[in-house]
Structure 1
Amino acid sequence: MTFDITRPAAFDNRVTRDLGVEIPIVQAPMGWIARSRLASAMSATGACGIIETSSGELDAVKDEIRKMRDLTDKPFGVNIAQAFVRDPAIAEFVIDQGVKFVTTSAGSPTKYTGVLKAAGLTVYHVVPTLTAALKAVDAGVDGLVVEGGEGGGFKSPTPVATMVLLPLIRSKVDVPIIAAGGITDGPTMAAAFALGAEGVQMGTRMVSAAESPVHNNWKQAIIEARETDTLFLNQRHSPALRALRTEKTEALVDVEHNVFGDFGNALDLYFGGDMNAAIALSGQVAGRIESIESVADIVAETVRGFAETVARLQG
C-alpha cells in the first residue's frame, strides 16, 4: 500500500490507536528535560509528548503534569522510572490526572502494570533485551519500547544495537513496539518500521530541539558532535550510561566504582551550561544532528522523510 502523508489516517496502526495520536513518534522521557514545555510542543504536532519522573522531583513533576492540561488538549503520556520514583502513590496520581498512556522503565514490569491497566490506562514497558521483553509481555503490558544500546541515557551494561534487538524481539512477541535508539529522522523511522516497529521514540534529537529547556551549550555540543563522540560508562554496574564525550566523562571511562556517585550537579549542566558539571547523556545519533529546530519542524521533516523513503523503496 502506498503511504500518503496527506491522509489523516496514514499512520493508522496499533501504536497510534493505543496512544490516541496521529503520528507514532514519541518524545523520550528525559529527566528534567521532558516537562510541559517540550512535551506540549510534541503533542501539539499530533505526536506524543511524555512527562518524566526520572529526575526524582515528584512535586515538580506533578505540577508539570497539571500544566499539560493548560498547554494542550492533545494526548500525552507519563513515564514512571521505577528506580528513581520513591513515592508508590505515583500511579494513583497519574490515574487521577486522567493520563491514558504510561511507559514504565528502570524496574520490574509487574510493579505498576496491574494497577494502571485496571484503571483503563495503556502501559508500555521499556526493554533493552529479549529476556526483559518476554518478562514484560508475561506481565501483561500492552506494548514495548525496545531501546537499542546506541541510545543515550541509562542503558543495559550489555548493550545491543537497535538493528539486532528490534527484529529479534519482533520475531518473539506480537505486541506493538516503539523503537528507540538511533532514531532521528524519516529514514531511521522507516528502517525501524521495516524491522518490526509501529512507532519510534526520539531522545537526543529532542534534547537539541528549540523547545528543549536545556542550555544552548548542550545543544551546540550535540550539533558539533561526531558519530564517535559518545562514551559508554558504568559498564561494571547497572544501569550503564551513554553520554557525550567531555572532560568529565572521559575521566570516568575506566573507573571501577559506580559512576552515579560522580554524576555531578545536573542543574548546572542542564540549565547553567557547564558541560563538565555533570554527565551529559546523549545517544550516538548526536553525530547526525546538525541544527537546532523546532519540535514542529522535526516531526514534519521526519514524517516527510519517512514517506519519501517508503516511496523510494516501493520503486
Structure 2
Amino acid sequence: MAAAPVKTRITDMLGIEKPIIQAAMGWIARAPLSSAFSNAGGMGIIETSSGELDVIRDEILKMKDLTDKPFGVNVAQAFVRDPNIVDFIIDQGIKFVTTSAGDPMKYTSMLKEAGLTVFHVVPSLQGALRAIEAGVDGLIVEGGEGGGFKNPKDVASMVLIPLVCEHVSVPVVAAGGITDGRSMAAAFALGAEGVLMGTRILSSEESPVHQNWKDAIFAADATDTVFLNRSGPGPALRALRTERTERILNEGVENIFGEFAGTQKVYFGGDLEAGIALTGQVAGRITGAKPVAQILDETIMEYYNVVARLPK
C-alpha cells in the first residue's frame, strides 16, 4: 500500500510527493537508481563527481526516458573538471541542483540567474550562513555520521540540524544517519523539512554496486565505519572499516585521493580492499536490500506511526 504524502516546503518547492532526496554518489547515482528514486516519489539526483560529463549527458537523457517525475543534478565542486559545468547543467534542462564540497558563492548566482533551484550541502553553521549569503533556496545539513567526504571538524546531526535551523529561514534537509521513518521523524523534530538518504539507497536492490559491498553493510555494526584523514591534507571522509581503511586510520596517507585509484574495483568489482568504500554509520541499522520504492513507502508510513506514538 502506497504511503500518504508528507507535505513540507521541500515537497512544494521541488514538486515531489515525499520529502526525501537521494544522495549524489559518484558513479552510482545514475539513471537506473535515480529514476527508481524519482518514480517512488522522492527526488532522484544524478552525480557529476565522476567527471564523466559525456556519460552524464547520456544518463540525463536516460532519466528523461525512465521517469516523468522531477530529478536533479549534483555539482561536487572539488571534483569539477569542466569550467563550463554550469552551462552544461543548464543545457540539459535541469531545474534542481545540489552543490557540495566547495564555496556556495562559486556557482549559486549563475544557477539562480538561469532559473534553477539550488540547495547547498553544509557541515557547519558557518557553512550554512555562507550558503544563505550566496542566495541558496535551501540547505542540506549533513552530520558527521554520514558516509563520504566530510568536514574534519565533524558535528553529529543531533547537534548540527537544530543549530542550523535556529539560524536560517530556508528549508533544511537533514543528512547523515537517515535510513527510515524513525530517523526521519527525529530529523523533523529537530527542525528539518526533508531528509537525504545515502547508505540506505547505496544498499538498495536497484543500486549498481557489487553485492560484496552491500553484504558488508548488512553485516556491519554501527562502529564498523572509520573517520579518515581528519588532519589532512585533503578532505576527511567516513568509510567502511576494512584492513585498508584501518591502516589509513592508524598510519595516515600522503594523498587521500590516491586511495581512490581502485574505485571501480571496489564499487563494481567487489574488492573492498582495493580502495575506499564510502559508507555511513547507519550501516549498523541496515540488515538487507529492499527496492527503492519499498524503502521510501515504509519510511513515510513509519514516520506517521512514530509521530502518532509520541507522548502528547
C-alpha displacement of 1:66: 1.6
Q: Tell me the residue number matched to 2:201.
A: 206
Q: Tell me the residue number matched to 2:73.
A: 78
Q: Tell me the residue number matched to 1:96.
A: 91
Q: Tell me the residue number matched to 1:246.
A: 242
Q: Tell me the residue number matched to 1:293.
A: 290
One-letter amino acid matched to 2:95: K
One-letter amino acid matched to 1:165: L
Q: Describe the shift of the 1:177–1:265 C-alpha distance in structure 2 as closer, same or farther (beyond 3 A).
A: same
Q: Deviations over 1:207-261 (max 9, x none)?
A: 1000000000000000000010000001112410100001111110031523222
Q: Describe the shift of the 1:36–1:6 C-alpha distance in structure 2 as closer, same or farther (beyond 3 A).
A: closer
- Report the aligned-residue RMSD: 1.2
Q: Tell me the residue number matched to 2:57.
A: 62
Paired residues of 2:3 and 2:300 also in contact (CA < 8 A): no
One-letter amino acid matched to 2:94: V
- Give structure 1 stretches of 5+ with no counterpart: none
Aligned-pair identity in percent equals 63
Residues 1:145 and 2:133 aligned together: no
Q: Deviations over 1:131-183 (max 9, x none)?
A: 00000000100010000000000000110000000000000111100000000
One-letter amino acid matched to 2:58: D
Q: Deviations over 1:80-133 (max 9, x none)?
A: 011111112221121122211100011110111111111111000000000000
Residues 1:284 and 2:259 aligned together: no
Paired residues of 2:3 and 2:298 also in contact (CA < 8 A): no
Map 1:94-133 to 2 at 5 A: 94-133=89-128
Question: 2-side partners of 1:6 and 1:279: how far apart?
Answer: 36
Residues 1:307 and 2:304 aligned together: yes
Q: Tell me the residue number matched to 1:11.
A: 6
Where 1:174 maps in the other structure, the secondary structure is coil
Where 1:144 maps in the other structure, the secondary structure is strand
Question: 1-side partners of 2:76 and 2:107: how far apart?
Answer: 11
Where 2:249 maps in the other structure, the secondary structure is coil
Q: Tell me the residue number matched to 2:29.
A: 34
Q: Deviations over 1:42-86 (max 9, x none)?
A: 000111100011112222122111211111000001000111111
Residues 1:272 and 2:263 aligned together: no
Question: 1-side partners of 2:119 and 2:103: how far apart?
Answer: 12
One-letter amino acid matched to 1:158: K
C-alpha displacement of 1:264: 3.4
Where 1:236 maps in the other structure, the secondary structure is coil
Q: Describe the shift of the 1:277–1:256 C-alpha distance in structure 2 as closer, same or farther (beyond 3 A).
A: closer
Q: Tell me the residue number matched to 1:169.
A: 164
Q: Paired residue for 1:155, among 136, 150, 157?
A: 150
Aligned residues: 309
Q: Normalization by structure 2: what TM-score? A: 0.96
Q: Tell me the residue number matched to 2:180.
A: 185
Where 1:39 maps in the other structure, the secondary structure is helix
Paired residues of 2:20 and 2:195 also in contact (CA < 8 A): yes
Question: 1-side partners of 2:166 and 2:207: how far apart?
Answer: 35
C-alpha displacement of 1:311: 0.7
Paired residues of 1:234 and 1:258 also in contact (CA < 8 A): no
C-alpha displacement of 1:6: 6.2
Paired residues of 1:91 and 1:112 also in contact (CA < 8 A): yes
Question: 2-side partners of 1:158 and 1:230: how far apart?
Answer: 17
C-alpha displacement of 1:12: 2.0
Q: Normalization by structure 1: what TM-score? A: 0.96
One-letter amino acid matched to 2:256: V
